[in-house]
């Protein structure tokens, strides 16, 4: 199993190109099931989750091709993938595939909308909480689907097709909004989604659906209206830049000091996180090329944050911000309101010398003058990169185990950081 070795203490200076967003790419890829025409996605990140979803969609009959590299192309630039589901050959998504990536459960919506039936394994729990699918199933039932649970599978039927309806989510759900959008695009009549998620990735999916011929109004607001159409066509779409990757490298720059241009990053996609960074002592400049983040010799200041749905502070940046606060002057309070069990990185940060105690859904972080390198173990995707941030600023060597979590969500992490001066090396399982 691969490990990452980091010798801390080097400030980051240079340019980091921001990859296409994983959280946008996955629903965009799944939307290819809605049409028998080709959907072309540009700037698709080279990630383990993307490769796995390609396999899952192939199981349903999606043909795909990937453009080869072009002369002079940056090796870390996104790839272009063409996906065509001329015929759905299997409406079952088996447990052995769905269990490996939770987002693959969303194939339920396009399979049901296009074929009138779907049999999809329940995804089960995961490292950061149960994340139930009840709201997703409620949305499908509101659109006229008959839902049964049989031996760990959701069996959904809509023999007469889906019908437009009012969907009222009792709480904001990104996954529920994604599948409601996809299903409603082929439903008869008009669907109105209330308390819809406002995340940029939801807007990106809506943009693709509109290019395919869907009629969507209000994406990015709490109320989205979808007028169903009989069929959707092909489209070409560029995946938006990854705001979580941008926020992660912004925090790494603030942690280590230095000056980094996050090429392609968009301030409007992570303003709450940028506000917290500025309050902590970093300088952030929005430029035509992207976000420039820097911190001179001044120390970091403790800042309190609470995670919230967009446009609030992203839960996917909570672990990274906690790593930053371990090195700040004073005491910060970090409250997690989205997922339970999302403080598993606390024990590993403590191995690096962090002072953190937990009180329910809040972590109280007392900043320390210096962290010390140590062997640590990643527990999930965002927790693993928080350990990278801490190790970059720690004195001495850190060894991060189970880095396959990083490969699920961060494209070319070691290359991007080492180009900016980090002493970071991947050690293969055979090395």
Residue 163 pairs with which residues in a beta bridge?
188
Which residues carry out catalysis?
A: 126
132 is in an annotated binding site: yes
Structure-token match 């899952």, residue found: 56
- How is residue 20 annotated by DSSP? B
Rounded Cα–Cα distance for residues 351 and 359 (Å): 19
Determine if residue 135 is labeled as part of a ligand binding site: yes
Check: CB of residue 392 under 8 Å from CB of residue 256: yes
317 and 305 in contact (C-beta within 8 Å)?
Answer: no
Query: Which strand (E) or helix (H) includes residue 153?
Result: strand 153-157
Torsion, CA 152, CA 54, CA 378, CA 280, rounded to 10: -110
The annotation status of 424 as a binding-site residue, yes or no, is: no
Instruction: Confirm whether residue 23 is marked as ligand binding.
Output: yes
DSSP state of 301: B
DSSP letter at 288 equals T
For 51-65, give one letter per residue: b (16+ CB within 10 A) or e. ebbbebbeebbbebe
Residue 11 annotated as lining a ligand binding site: no
β-pair partners for 354:
none
Would you say 148 is a known binding-site residue? no
102 has binding-site annotation: yes
Report the 10 Å Cβ neighbour count for 247: 28
H-only helix segments in 240-353: 243-256, 271-280, 318-325, 345-351
Residues making up the binding site for UDP-N-acetyl-alpha-D-glucosamine: 102, 131-135, 316, 338
Residues making up the binding site for phosphoenolpyruvate: 22-23
């Amino acid at each position: 199993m691969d490990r990452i070795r980091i010798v801390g203490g080097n400030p980051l200076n240079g340019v980091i190109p921001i990859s296409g967003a994983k959280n946008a790419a996955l629903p965009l890829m799944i939307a290819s099931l809605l049409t028998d025409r080709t959907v072309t996605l540009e700037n698709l990140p080279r990630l383990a989750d993307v490769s796995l979803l390609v396999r899952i969609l192939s199981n349903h009959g999606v043909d795909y091709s990937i453009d080869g590299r072009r002369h002079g192309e940056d090796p870390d630039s996104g790839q272009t993938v063409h996906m065509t589901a001329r015929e759905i050959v299997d409406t079952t998504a088996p447990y052995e595939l769905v269990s490996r990536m939770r987002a693959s459960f969303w194939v339920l919506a396009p399979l049901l909308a296009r074929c009138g039936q779907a049999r999809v394994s329940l995804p089960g729990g995961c490292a950061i909480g149960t994340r139930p699918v009840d709201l997703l199933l409620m949305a499908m039932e509101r659109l006229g689907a008959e839902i049964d649970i049989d031996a760990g599978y959701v069996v959904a039927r809509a023999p007469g097709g889906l019908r437009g309806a009012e969907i009222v989510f009792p709480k904001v759900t990104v996954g529920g909004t994604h599948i409601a959008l996809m299903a409603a695009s082929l439903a008869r009549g008009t669907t109105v989604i209330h308390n819809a998620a406002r995340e940029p990735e939801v807007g990106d999916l809506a943009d693709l659906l509109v290019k395919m011929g869907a009629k969507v109004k209000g994406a990015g607001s709490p109320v989205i209206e979808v007028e169903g159409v009989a069929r959707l066509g092909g489209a070409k779409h560029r995946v938006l830049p990854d705001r979580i990757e941008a926020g992660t490298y912004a925090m790494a720059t603030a942690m280590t000091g230095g000056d980094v241009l996050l090429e392609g990053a968009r301030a409007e996609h992570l303003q709450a996180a940028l506000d917290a960074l500025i309050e902590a002592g970093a300088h952030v400049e929005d430029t035509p090329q992207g976000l420039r983040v820097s911190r001179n010799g001044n120390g970091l200041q403790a800042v309190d944050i609470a995670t919230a749905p967009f446009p609030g502070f992203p839960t996917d940046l909570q672990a990274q911000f906690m790593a930053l606060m371990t090195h700040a002057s004073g005491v910060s309070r970090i409250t997690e309101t989205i997922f339970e069990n999302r403080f598993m990185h606390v024990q590993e940060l403590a191995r690096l010398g962090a002072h953190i105690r937990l009180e329910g859904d809040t972590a109280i972080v007392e900043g320390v003058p210096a962290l010390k390198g140590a062997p640590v173990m990643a527990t999930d995707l965002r927790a693993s990169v928080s350990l990278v941030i801490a190790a970059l600023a720690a004195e001495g060597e850190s060894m991060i185990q189970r880095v396959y979590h990083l490969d699920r969500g961060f494209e070319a992490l070691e290359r991007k950081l080492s180009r900016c001066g980090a002493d970071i090396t991947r050690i293969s399982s055979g090395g």
